[in-house]
Amino acid sequence: MGFPVDFLWGGASAANQCEGGIFEGGRGLANVDVCPAGPDRNAVITGHRKMFRMDGEHRYPAAEGVDFYHRYREDIKLMGEMGFKVYRMSIAWTRIFPTGEEETPNEEGLKFYEHVFQECRKYRIKPLVTVSHFDCPIHLIEKYGGWRDRRMIDYYLRLCRVLFERYRDYVTHWLTFNEINMILHAPFMGAGLCFEEGENEEQVKYQAAHHELVASALAVKLAHEVNPENQVGCMFAAGAAYPYSCKPQDVWEALLTDQENYFFVDVQARGYYPSYAVKRLQKKGVYPVMAEGDEKLLREYPVDFISFSYYNSRCIAAEEQETAEGNLFKSAKNPYLKFSEWGWPIDPLGLRITLNQVYDRYQKPLFIVENGLGALDCPNADGYVADDYRIDYLREHIRAMKAAVEEDGVDLMGYTSWAPIDLISAGTGEMKKRYGYVYVDQQEDGSGTGKRIRKKSFYWYQKVIESNGEVL
């Protein structure tokens, strides 16, 4: 049986990790631009160190990215060569509204993305566009405190309206926010939040989350009004939470972890705050302030489909254990799994488990929009990378995905692996942590020719797509 004939194979990237050109084309400064590489990055992305400008002491990898801004034609051609059906990408908010407050959008920024979409069309690649992949204009952060302020909803919707109307003929699949649950783990990067000493951080985070959830519902409403063919999805960082043992306390903590993760999707897909969230947020004194009509909006405009990133499962223990890394989430080290060079668990079966859990919970079409292996690639003298380790990782995850579709009956729309080409890592800001099918000759300090070189995985994925997942 296999995958449906219209299954959407492709890859995913984010403007702030690949585009560069942040001072070109009238673009304004965003939170994602001022997240430095190095030891201070974590303090900045978690909102515990204010950094609203670039200083002379840090390196800011988003400034150059991998120069997709100038090389998008070459990069999209390579995607076309692989046979991509879909390319998940994002819009840099400040390329369209440099401060976020302008009444009129920046035409040069709009034309750039129009040219990107035209290139996609040339190779019959459908764009799947994330409106906000962590982007938040610095001006709005300085003036309003980012998403802690309800006025952000109006500025976000102004962006949505321009995008939905301008690109009506090019884009019919949209995501409102990337990894919306990251607001709890990387609040500055995820929502432009910085905290003052003594402030109740949980309260700020959940209030900002509420504003984003309302904005997402209004974006769904607007997208359907502008073009009835539009399909709008939510997106969260997923990964099944396993209890460390069968000890009931471990099982309970794993359940709480899952609920924290699913909270956002519960609201976006079901249209209301689930009872467990209401009770716990009230008990903690951090239940968000809602405006009249918010609950009605959430109820009336749920998302059409659910998308998520999956890199690894998590292992949850009630008592402290040896820890493992993973997509900005730390968890107990699972003794039954292998680990990547960055300490992330490798768990293909966890993807099948996650697909089943999410589909059972929501009964809406699913879309895997990030999955990949960050690794040190060692090119030979010609720049070629024999990345069998990446092929092995992706093969096993696709097999698990196929089993979920074929044997478990999961309704899966598509798969966009992270990433088509090497780009800057979001968590660490590193270039050496590579994900792509295409090697980019660029080093940690920004040096290199920028040349694109096809890896072994490029030709492997080409065959996977050509065979609709039958040749692995």
Number of alpha helices (DSSP H) and beta strands (DSSP E) in the chain: 15, 16
Side chain identity at residue 351, one-letter code: L
Q: Give every residue of the chain whose pLDDT is below 70, as ranges.
A: 322-330
Side chain identity at residue 72, one-letter code: Y
Question: CA-to-CA distance for 36 and 45, rounded, in angstroms?
Answer: 9
2, part of any domain: no
Active site residues: 179, 370
Q: Which of 161, 188, 92 is nearest to 132 (CA)?
A: 92
393, part of any domain: yes
| Per-residue model confidence (pLDDT) at position 125 | 98
Q: What is the helix (H) or strand (E) element at residue 218, kind and residue range? A: helix 201-226
| Per-residue model confidence (pLDDT) at position 326 | 55
Q: Which of 268, 223, 451, 418 is nearest to 358 (CA)?
A: 268
Question: CA-to-CA distance for 159 and 92, rounded, in angstroms?
Answer: 10
Question: CA-to-CA distance for 146 and 52, rounded, in angstroms?
Answer: 12
| Per-residue model confidence (pLDDT) at position 218 | 98
Place of tokens 């396993």: 242
123, part of any domain: yes
| Per-residue model confidence (pLDDT) at position 91 | 97
3, part of any domain: no
Angle ∠(254,256,259) on CA atoms, nearest 5 = 110
44, part of any domain: yes
Please tell me the total count of domains within the chain.
1
User: 291-340: per-residue pLDDT in tens?
Assistant: 999 999 999 999 999 999 999 999 999 887 766 655 556 678 899 999 99
Note whether 435 and 422 are within 8 A (CB): yes
| Per-residue model confidence (pLDDT) at position 328 | 56
Domain holding 397, by residue range, is 8-466
471, part of any domain: no
Instruction: Give the pair of three-digit tokens for residue 457.
Output: 């995985």
Note whether 408 and 127 are within 8 A (CB): no
1, part of any domain: no
| Per-residue model confidence (pLDDT) at position 325 | 59
Place of tokens 């660029």: 442
| Per-residue model confidence (pLDDT) at position 449 | 92
User: 372-395: per-residue pLDDT in tens?
Assistant: 999 999 999 888 999 999 999 999
Contacts of 111 (CB under 8 A, 6+ apart): none
Q: Which of 135, 118, 141 is nearest to 53 (CA)?
A: 141
Question: CA-to-CA distance for 206 and 203, rounded, in angstroms?
Answer: 5
The domain that holds 255 is classified in CATH as 3.20.20.80
| Per-residue model confidence (pLDDT) at position 1 | 73
| Per-residue model confidence (pLDDT) at position 428 | 86
147, part of any domain: yes
Q: What is the helix (H) or strand (E) element at residue 41, kind and residue range? A: helix 41-45
User: Beta strand pairing status for 338-339 and 345-346?
Assistant: antiparallel
Reduced DSSP (H G I as helix, E B as strand, rest coil) percent helix, strand, coil of the chain, to 5 = 40, 15, 45
